[in-house]
Structure 1
């Protein structure tokens, strides 16, 4: 495993998993966490403080919503940049499929390319004659 935890030490991870489940918002509870509904107190974020392996120290998230919105804007922009090539390819394929449905043929050769052309003619006796 990534953290090199022995499989026999799973018992020590159960409280961590339970805490994560109890503090996560659930759609069936109106997007509220079970702990928040049980205690009536606002639910703390599970990522309010986390360990940054690159800096090798604990990092706290900003408490102000302005700083959080700034980070969210940066995240949204980077996600859009990551997914843009996929969206472009999807649009290109969709337009090509629409052209094919309308019967438009797309050619994949240019001037100067060698093209093999065939013509099928009917011969006597219901046989086909292919000319290349």
Structure 2
């Protein structure tokens, strides 16, 4: 979203309420295709936010359509999963290397 709106990364806190609202108002399969706010309040999911204010720009910015937000969130989730996968792979490689060292095996490549 920062790239999409050409917003300085230091302005991320201004986007957080929008991201949180989007996450809380988006239906997910793990919740029976309900949004977290529906399950928490027992009420129908309200209309999502339409705009947000950027103090440095001194103006309201329109929130992208829900499909675009869903795309941003899917990209974010995929990025986080890839980051975790890379860390997990590095940990496994290091653990295997440590086991080889414990057994006295040659670890030079």
Task: Sort the TM-score into its range (normalised by shorter chain).
Answer: 0.3 to 0.5
Structure having the higher Rg: 1
Using the size of structure 1 for normalisation, the TM-score is 0.35
| Higher normalized strand content (fraction of residues) | 1
Q: TM-score, normalised by structure 2?
A: 0.40
Higher RCO by CA contacts (8 Å cutoff, separation 6 or greater):
2
Q: Please identify which structure carries the higher helix content.
A: 2
